[in-house]
Chains A and B, each alone.
Chain A
Amino acid sequence: MQAEAQSPQQSSTATHARYEWLDQARGIVGLFYVLSIITSSVDGDILRKLVPYHPTYLNHGYAYYKGDPSIITLIDVGQLMFMFIMGFVAYIAFSSRLEKRGAASAWLYAARRFAGLYILSIVGATLLPMLRGQTVNWNEALYDGVLSRLAIGGLAAYTAVYFVRNADRRAWLGFTLFAVHAFLFASYYFDRYPWIDDMLQRPKFPFGVFNLAAIAILGSAFAQWFAMRPDDPGAGIRSRILPVATWSLVAAYCVEWIQPSEHHDVTTALALLSIGLTGYLVMASYAMGTQGIVVPALRAIGKNLLLVFIVTGEIVDMYLEAIADTAVETHPYAALLFVGLLPVAAVAYIALLLEKRNIVVRL
Chain B
Amino acid sequence: MSEGATTTNAISSYSGKGKLRRRLLAAVCVVVLLTLFEPVREHGRTMEARLEHGRTVLNVALLWWEYGQLHEGAYPPLDPRPGVLLFDLSKVRAGYRLGPVFKGREKNPGNAAVFGDLNANIAYSLEDLVEPGRYFYLGYAVTNEREGRSLLDAYRKQAASGGGFADNLKVAMGSGTLGTDTLRLLNLNLLQTMASEGVAIDPATVLLSTIPVMIERPAENDPPGGWVVYLDRQMKWLPYPGPFPMTEEFIRGLEDLTKLAAERK
Contacts and interface: CB of A to CB of B under 8 A. Distances in A.
B3 A99 contact: yes
A155 B93 CA distance: 54
A201 B50 CA distance: 13
A183 B2 contact: no
B58 A199 contact: yes
A224 B9 contact: yes
A104 interface: no
A179 B36 CA distance: 11
Contacts of B110: none
Nearest to B3: A99
B58 A166 contact: no
Interface in A179-234: 179, 182-183, 186-188, 196-197, 199-201, 224-230
Contact of B9 (A46, A183, A197, A228): A228
Interface string B28-51: 000001001100110110011011
Given A186-B40, A187-B43, A199 B51 contact: yes
Interface residues of B, number: 30
B116 A49 contact: yes
B119 to A, nearest CB: 10
B16 interface: no
Nearest to B57: A199
Contacts of A200: 47, 50-51, 54, 237
Mostly, the A contact residues are helix
A227 B1 contact: yes
A270 to B, nearest CB: 17
A79 interface: no
B1 A16 contact: yes
A235 interface: yes
A273 interface: no
Contacts of A226: 1
B5 interface: yes
Contact of B40 (A47, A168, A187, A196): A187
Nearest to B53: A199
A224 B5 contact: yes
A235 B5 CA distance: 13
A304 to B, nearest CB: 23
B15 interface: no
Nearest to A95: B2
Contacts of B1: 16-17, 92, 95-96, 226-227, 230
A74 B2 CA distance: 34
Contact of B8 (A166, A188, A239): A166
B5 A227 contact: yes
A95 B5 CA distance: 9
Nearest to B227: A199
Q: Which of B41, B55, B116, B236 has the most CB of A within 10 A?
A: B41
B225 to A, nearest CB: 12
Contacts of B41: 186, 258
Given A16-B1, A187-B43, A200-B51, A167 B11 contact: no
A46 to B, nearest CB: 7
A228 to B, nearest CB: 5
Given A95-B2, A166-B8, A239-B11, A196 B55 contact: yes
A225 B12 CA distance: 12
B116 A165 contact: no
A118 to B, nearest CB: 27
Given A46-B118, A196-B55, A182 B11 contact: no
A99 B4 contact: yes
A25 B48 CA distance: 39
Given A16-B1, A96-B1, A239-B11, A188 B6 contact: no
A362 to B, nearest CB: 19
Nearest to B13: A239
A228 B236 contact: no
Contact of B235 (A47, A199, A230): A199
B250 to A, nearest CB: 22
A98 B43 CA distance: 46
A168 B54 contact: no
Interface of A: 16-17, 46-47, 49, 92, 95-96, 98-99, 165-168, 179, 182-183, 186-188, 196-197, 199-201, 224-230, 235, 239, 258
21 contacts: A16-B1, A95-B5, A99-B2, A99-B3, A166-B8, A182-B37, A186-B40, A187-B43, A187-B44, A188-B48, A196-B58, A197-B51, A199-B58, A199-B227, A199-B237, A200-B50, A200-B54, A224-B9, A227-B2, A227-B5, A235-B11
Given A199-B51, A235-B11, 5 more contacts: A165-B8, A167-B8, A188-B48, A196-B54, A228-B11
Top 6 nearest A-B pairs (CB, nearest first) are A227-B1, A188-B47, A186-B44, A95-B2, A227-B5, A199-B54
